[in-house]
Chains A and B, each alone.
Chain A
Amino acid sequence: MKREKKKNFRELLLQGNEAIVEGALKAGCRFFAGYPITPATEISEQLSVRLPQVGGTFIQMEDEIGSIAAIIGASLAGAKSMTATSGPGFSLMQENLGFAIMAEVPCVIVNAMRGGPSTGLPTSPSQSDVMQARWGTHGDHPIIALCPSTIKECYDLTIKAFNLSEKFRNPVILLVDEVVAHMREKITFYDDEEVDIFNRVKPSMPPEWYIPYEDTPSGIPPMANFGEGYRYHVTGLTHDIRGFPTSRPDEIDPFIRRLFRKISQHFSEIQFGEFFETEDADISIIAYGCVARSAKRAAIDARARGVKVGVLKLNTLWPFMRTAVEKILKKSRIVIVPEMNMGQISREVKRVNKGETKVFTINKVDGTIITPEEILARIKEVG
């Protein structure tokens, strides 16, 4: 009866970057363009082997500007596409990130955050690109950014990143910090695991009727791939519903508003996170990335000493999880936002705080992780 024992799952010890690769392939990624940079390089190295094995294409471009340009081009030609980089490369990508937003081209950009500014700390963790992910490219624009704190989340959120980008026709940024990118954890893949995969909605009408940037109830127009008979114009210039450049105020305004609306109308579909012991929490910690791990540990330890501490872990950084954060602010007497930057998400927390709750921060910018002890110390100090 040995047969029955046949395992229907695989257990792997994976690094964050490796789990991102697995997630990307599962989501249907078939094109990757990148330029080597620590701590994201493993993603390129692995996909250079894995993508050709599944009929996909990997290319190492001459820089990160070219990398993001290539994935946008590939996506327009129909391939689910991704690039991966770190701070310096993410800075170079900003102009074309805006192009993808403007032309509504799905793609996924992984930014394994390291210390900055400039070349900064190539091998040390940081969370200092949160605001760059939000506002890095010029012009008013919507963005989606997800942030894993475990290896399983690296896998799951990469799949979600692809799904969301395909669904909303918007680039999605996966913000992972160096700790999570390089850390190893066990991850279990079940053979019968059902994973939702979303593929872009294509036009169903004949080409003569296709209006590529037409508003729809969802705000998301169907997307034709190049070469499928729907010849249309794609431009980074502000365009009318047909995709042609326009300078008419009555066309510009609804276009920009639709870009925002297609995300805001679906906020609830883009909010991922976890409430950990927050129900009765007197003090709550709002954290993300590797710091969320320390926060949970700190909460457990604090509770062991009778202090009611909970954690709101944010897996979606943008659009900001306002509803969840407001809930925590209402419930808790004190909120602490520990971050490996000078205060980026804490600004958002303070912005939505109605004033009744005290919001404290922990800001660590020395290239090392925030430990549970440091969070506990802060709890003691402000509690």
Chain B
Amino acid sequence: MPEVTKLIHKYLRHDKKFPHVWCPGCGIGIMLGALIRAIDRCGFTKDEIVLVSGIGCTGRLPVYVDFNTLHTTHGRALAFATGVKLANPNLKVIVVMGDGDAVAIGGNHFIHAARRNIDLTAIILNNSIYGMTGGQYSPTTPYGMKTTTSSFFHIEQAFNISELAVTAGAPFVGRGTVYHARLLDSLMEKAFLKKGFAVVEVISHCHTQFGKLNKMGTAVEMMEWQRDHAVTVEKAQQMKEEELKDKFRIGVLIDKELPVYLDEYEKVRQRLSELGDKKP
């Protein structure tokens, strides 16, 4: 059996849940592939993985895979995941969200999860639009683009999700695209193995809505756009500001050590237990 087929059999709920809901050519499937490969390489058991999502096309992802899967409410996946992890630290908790899910309705949870540094992995599929509800603008829709709620042109500035995560204090932030599938595999692997809050932003395409409205072509053409506009972190260091103007960086954007929430909390537990009935 080819490697790919083996993985499909091992991880997908293939006899129960297919066909899936995604449009042919959507990037979410590529992200799912990377996620499965990275989990497999890290050697986690299926029982210890909890895959949490919010609502959206991306939010539909967990239902297809054979882990403990939790499809929550729109924007709240990280808050649910926080409870899961704190109640059972032995679980490996991975959260997948769309861009609207993560930084519009869920923006507050996102920055606070990053700041808190609980051992969670947050994977955000950024397709610049609200896919599931039919192509309305999201916080990552670039200025000037068309969506179904900005049919003339979009007048707001976009969030840079990865930079937001860095600023909010996440100790690991990586960005990849669904075009650069190998890089995505390795970013996810690094994120899963990171102790602390790790973010992977996945630049993807929604050719059926965003692409169509902005005449960006087929899924393949949109992936070519990703290829042409992504610059590796290493290469970007050699480039001038001007050359980077309409480019985005991919690779590991930050990887640093910070005290992890549950380690710190264990200290609190010990101190308070020693105190007993005495007031702290």
Contacts and interface: CB of A to CB of B under 8 A. Distances in A.
Pick from B66, B69, B83 the residue with the most CB of A within 10 Å.
Answer: B83
A242 B82 CA distance: 25
Contacts of A228: 47
A52 B68 contact: no
Contacts of A237: 71
Given A52-B269, A61-B79, A235 B71 contact: yes
Contacts of B80: 69-70, 72-73
Contact of A231 (B66, B112, B273, B276): B66
B83 A70 contact: yes
Interface residues of B, number: 40
Contacts of A244: 16-17, 63
Interface stretch (A76-84, A108-116, A353-361): A76-84
B272 A57 contact: no
Contact of B70 (A33, A57, A76): A76
B16 A69 contact: no
Interface stretch (B87-95, B121-129, B170-178, B198-206): B87-95
Contacts of A72: 80, 83
Given A31-B87, A73-B70, A235-B71, A63 B280 contact: no
B46 interface: yes
Contacts of B216: none
A96 interface: yes
A303 interface: no
Pick from A49, A65, A67, A242 the residue with the most CB of B within 10 Å.
Answer: A65
A229 interface: yes
Nearest to B47: A229
B16 A31 contact: no
Interface in A42-98: 49, 52-53, 55, 57, 59, 61-63, 65-67, 69-79, 81, 95-96
A235 B76 CA distance: 13
A236 B87 contact: no
Interface residues of A, number: 45
Contact of B71 (A57, A65, A236): A236
Contacts of A234: 69-71
A52 B268 contact: yes
B108 interface: yes
Contacts of A272: none
**Chain A contact surface mostly:** mixed
Given A74-B86, A77-B87, A78-B87, A65 B47 contact: no
Given A99-B73, A226-B68, A62 B108 contact: yes
A95 B16 contact: no
Contact of B87 (A62, A66, A79): A79
A266 B13 CA distance: 36
B142 to A, nearest CB: 28
Nearest to B21: A245
A63 B272 CA distance: 25
B72 A227 contact: no
Nearest to B279: A49
B63 A74 contact: no
A225 B83 CA distance: 13
B94 to A, nearest CB: 12
A231 B66 CA distance: 7
Contact of B272 (A53, A79, A81): A53
A61 B269 contact: no
A128 B172 CA distance: 46
B221 interface: no
A136 B76 CA distance: 19
Contacts of B273: 52-53
A258 interface: no
B280 A31 contact: no
A30 interface: yes
Interface in B201-233: none
Nearest to B273: A53
A61 B82 CA distance: 9
A226 B84 contact: yes
B153 interface: no
Interface in B66-117: 66-73, 76, 79-88, 90-91, 108-109, 112
Interface string A303-324: 0000000000000000000000
B50 interface: yes
Nearest to A235: B71
A12 to B, nearest CB: 12
Nearest to A57: B86
A63 B86 contact: no
B131 interface: no
B79 A66 contact: yes
B48 interface: yes
B16 A70 contact: no
7 contacts: A33-B82, A52-B273, A70-B82, A77-B85, A79-B88, A99-B73, A235-B70
Interface of A: 30-31, 33, 49, 52-53, 55, 57, 59, 61-63, 65-67, 69-79, 81, 95-96, 99, 225-229, 231-237, 242, 244-245
Minimum-distance CB pairs A-B, first 8: A73-B83, A70-B83, A69-B79, A74-B87, A74-B83, A66-B79, A79-B87, A77-B87
Interface of B: 16-17, 46-48, 50, 52, 62-63, 66-73, 76, 79-88, 90-91, 108-109, 112, 265, 268-269, 272-273, 276, 280
Given A49-B272, A62-B108, A231-B67, 11 more contacts: A31-B87, A33-B83, A53-B269, A53-B272, A55-B269, A69-B109, A70-B83, A73-B83, A77-B85, A231-B66, A235-B70
